[in-house]
Each structure stands twice: as structure tokens, then as C-alpha cells.
Amino acid sequence: MTKGFMPKENHQILFTKNRLKMSKVTVVIDGRKIVADTDETILEVAKNNGIEILTMCHLKGITDVGACRLCIVELEGSPRLFSACTTHVADNMVVTTNSERIKRYQRITTELFFAERNHMCAVCVSNGACELQNLGYKVGMEAIRYPHLFPQCDVDTSHDFFVMDHNRCISCTRCVRVCAEVEGAYNWDVMNRGYHIRIISDFNTPWGESTTCTSCGKCVQACPTGALWSKSIVQGQQSKHPEMITELVERRSMKL
């Protein structure tokens, strides 16, 4: 009846080993042999070893969601592509981050970002200091080969200190996650589905009327583009410090 079936004792040994319990593994990334911990993601291991993997929705200190699909990598033994930010390393994993296929797809993703909303760098507060712009340079984007969707997007200036310009939003949801996980205010969330999604405050009410926002400004720092910006700066002079959020999260977990 139970031919070929492992006795339960062995199972317990196999699967109570919790991912969070650290143990060393050897992985190969782009031909380089690296020793890492099992609680690390491929992205973390790569970063710690000087291997650059493109990201957008990733921000250290908040949960990774694997949404932008820029950090896709190939794993030997599987035809699928995996997001490096959400996939943990395992012993003998062989990772490729820079194949022609991956580079081609990253380029397409970037072009789709630009075509989806209304990104006009020349008049943007983040011109010259924008992660989306940098991405464009990194992938060598020279033209956007897809027709722009030109959606009707609002600019919400109702808040005393900040502005939310949906024309420049790429729906990375870093603002949503920062507000939920770091500040705990839950002012931002996403509404609708598909290409109709928009970042909203409370009941899709003006940000200035929010009953949850604490005006902490973390979302502005987390936002990679000029979608969220501070009223105190002018065009082309915004510089953001998302690393402040990473440091804040680290400090909170320390007992000083």
C-alpha cells in the first residue's frame, strides 16, 4: 500500500527546517561561485557580491513583491524566469542574470513603463534624479516602440506639503508598502485592475482630506519618480533619499 513512500520521520527532518534558520549554501551567479545564507534572496546575494541586477519595485526595508519583473533571472533546470527579489537561494543553484533574453525583456519592460503613463522629463521635478530615467539609460533605451496610452491622469495638490501626480506614477507600490509597513498609517492603496489601476488615498478622496495620513513624507522619499514630490522644491531640483527608509527600518529593529 505504501510502496515508494517515505516514512514520516524522514519528512519531519526534511521540512521543519525553516527557511529563516540560516545555513550556508553555495550558488553560482553568472559563472561566479558564491557562498550565501539560505535566508537571503538572489537579489541580496548578488548585491552583496557586486553583481548588479536591475530593480524598481524593490526597496530594502519593505516587503518585496516581484511586480516590476525587471530583476528576472534564469535558473538552471527550469524554463521559467524568476524574480530575484522574492526567490531565496538554495544549495547548488545556478543563476544567470544577464542573458540576451533577459536584457531584451528588461528593455521591453522599460519601454512599456514609459508608454503606459505620461512621462515628460523636461518639466518634471525629478528630471536628472529619477530612477525611471536612470533605468532608461541603463537598458540603452533610444526609442519607445509602443504607442503611448495617454491616459487621463490627475494631479492631486490638496495636501499641505506634498503633491501626487498620477501622470508620472509607475504603480511600483513602494509608497503603499512604506505607508503600511514602516509608518503604519495605510493612507495609500491601489484601486481598480489592469491598466486602470491608480494609487489612491482613503476612499479615493483628495490626499489633503485624508483621515489616515500623518504627513511623515516617507512615501515621497520612497517614490522612484516624480509622481510624489514635496511642494518646497522646484522643477529639476528634487533629490530623494529612499535609503533613509532602509536605515530607519534597520534602526527600529536594533536595541540601542
Partner 1 sequence: MSTGKTLPIADLPQDDPRVKQLNIKIKKEGFKPDALIEILHNAQNSYGYLPLNVLQYISKVLKLPPSRVFGTVSFYHFFSMKSKGEHTCLVCTGTACYVKGAQKLLDSIENKFSLKQGQVSEDGRLGVQAARCIGACGLAPAVIVDNEVHAKVIADDLIAKLTSKLEAHEQI
Partner 2 sequence: MNRFDFKNIVQAEKAKEQNAHTKNKILVCCGAGCISSGSEDVLKKLQEEIKNRELEDVEIIPTGCMGPCNQGPLVKFNPRNTIYQKVDCTNIGEVVKSQIVDKKPLEDMLLFAESREKPFVNANEDPYYKKQMKIALKDCGDVHPERIEDYLLHDGYKALDKALFEMSPEDVIAEMKHSRLRGRGGAGYPTGLKWETVYRYVNDPKYVICNGDEGDPGAFMDRSVLEGNPHRVLEGMTIAAYAIGASKGFAYIRGEYPLAIKRFEMAIRQAKKMGVLGARILGTDFSFDVEVRIGAGAFVCGEETALIASIEGKRGTPRPRPPYPAESGLWGKPTLINNVETMASVAPIILNGGEWYSEIGTAKSAGTKVFALAGKINHAGLIEVPMGTTLREIVFDIGGGIQGGGQFKAAQTGGPSGGCIPVEHLDVKMDYEELMKLGSIMGSGGLIVMDETSDMVDVARFFMEFCVDESCGKCVPCRVGTKMMHDLLQKVCENKATQLDIERLEELAVYVKECSLCGLGGSAPNPLLSTLRHFRHEYDERVHAERKSSNLIH
Which residues would be at the binding site for partner 1 (CB under 8 A)? 185-193, 200-204, 211-212
Torsion of CA 88, 93, 97, 101, to 10 degrees: -110
User: Minimal distance in Å, beta carbon 149 to partner 1?
Assistant: 19
| Smallest separation, CB 80 to partner 2 (Å) | 8
Residue 178 to residues 86, 91, 155, 185, 195, Cα–Cα distance (Å): 17, 32, 21, 9, 22
Residue among 149, 119, 123 at smallest CA distance from 133: 119
CA distances from 71 to 32, 128, 221 (A): 18, 23, 22
Cell reading at 111 = 519601454
Measured from the Cβ of residue 216, the count of other Cβ atoms closer than 10 Å reads 15
Report what 211 binds from partner 1, partner 2, none; CB cut-off 5-8 Å by kind. Answer: partner 1
Q: How far is the CB of 213 from partner 2 (least distance, A)?
A: 20
Q: Where are the strands (E) in the chain, listed by range?
A: 24-29, 32-37, 72-75, 81-83, 94-96, 155-156, 162-165, 188-191, 198-201, 228-230
Q: CB of residue 30 vs partner 2: minimum separation in angstroms?
A: 19
Q: Which residues bind partner 2 (CB under 8 A)?
A: 1-5, 8, 11-12, 14-16, 19, 65-69, 72, 80-83, 86-88, 101, 104-105, 108-109, 112-113, 115-116, 145-147, 149, 171, 190, 192-197
Among partner 2, partner 1, none, partner that 22 touches (CB below 5 to 8 angstroms by kind): none
Q: Of partner 1, partner 2, none, which one sits near residue 5, judging by CB under 5 to 8 A according to partner kind? A: partner 2
Closest CB to partner 1 among residues 149, 190 = 190
Residue 156: helix, strand or coil by DSSP?
Answer: strand
- Which partner in partner 1, partner 2, none is near 155 (CB below 5 to 8 A by kind)? none
Collapse the DSSP code of 138 into the 3-class scheme (helix H, G, I; strand E, B; otherwise coil) and give the result.
helix
- Residue 144 interacting partner from partner 2, partner 1, none (CB closer than 5 to 8 Å by kind): none
Q: Minimal distance in Å, beta carbon 210 to partner 1? A: 9
> Three cell numbers at 108?
521591453
Q: Which is nearer to partner 1, 73 or 176 (CB)?
A: 176
Residue with smaller CB distance to partner 1, 204 or 237? 204
CB of 209 to partner 1, least distance (A): 11
